[in-house]
Every structure is written in C-alpha cells, then in structure tokens.
Amino acid sequence: GNTAGSLGETSALIILICGMYLLIKKTASFRIVLGGVTAFVVFQLLFRLTGVAGAAGPLSALLSGGFLFGIMFMATDPISASQTTNQGRWIFGAAVGMLTALIRTFSVWPEGITFAILLANMFAPLLDDLLKQAAGRVQSQ
C-alpha cells in the first residue's frame, strides 16, 4: 500500500522468492538476472553520483516499479532471451538493466523495463550469432 506500482510488481520479497524458485529449478538464467541487476544498479548509482536530475538512488530504483518483476520473469523468458551462449546471457541481462536505467531517467515514461526487454530481444539472435562466430574463430586459430 505504500509503494507506487501495478499489482504484482510492488512486493519485492514475493518477487525475489518466486524468482529464486525459478533460478533453483534452472527455468530462469541467473546470468540474465545478475547481469541485469548489476548494470541497473551501476547506472542508477552513476546517474545519482553525477547529479542527473530525477535520478533515483539504486536501492529505491531497484525496489520501486516493475524492474524486479521484469528482470525475474520477463527478461528470462526462454523463447525470446539470449539462449545459446553464456556470454550472450550476461550481455543481454546487462543491456536490459542499462536500458531500463536510461529510459527511466531520461524519458517521459516512469517505467522502462518493458521497452528495455523489447529492445534487447531485437538484438538477442544477432548477439548469439556474433558470439558463436567469435568463439569459432578463436577455436580455429
């Protein structure tokens, strides 16, 4: 009742418990979640320390809005997220976190997780292909 947000995205504890279940069952990739949360916190901290107007503190930004819900349940969707390389999962998660922080801070929309996931999903297949090609070149040398 004290936190603004849509139904289901405001209870960080429940989201974390359910997300941990998905991580334990290996339904969700910890690389996407950890990469996304790390990038989000780093960018929010960077914005806050550099005095960007309207930038929330990392903890406040992490626990408000739909970021936790999105990174736990939407970004880890096995159909659309980067799925074939571990490096791709890290980069995909970091891209979602970074884009969410950028959209939240510099756009007219108060929430950016959905846009960030859609943008990262557009590049996930290309990212996986590029990483596979790079790995193939390294192995052939």
Domain chopping of the chain, boundaries: 30-140
Cα distances (angstroms) measured from residue 31 to each of 16, 39, 47, 54, 121:
15, 12, 24, 29, 15
Q: Give the chain's mean pLDDT.
A: 87
pLDDT of residue 120: 93
| pLDDT tens digits for range 30-53 | 999 999 999 999 999 999 999 888
Q: What is the DSSP letter of 84?
A: S
pTM (predicted TM-score): 0.87
3-class state of residue 72 by DSSP: helix
How many CB atoms lie under 10 A from the CB of residue 50? 8
Identify the top-confidence range among 22-31, 63-72, 75-84, 105-114: 22-31
Q: Are 91 and 127 in contact (CB under 8 A)?
A: yes
Ranking 32-46, 62-76, 90-104 by mean pLDDT, the lowest is 62-76
pLDDT of residue 33: 96
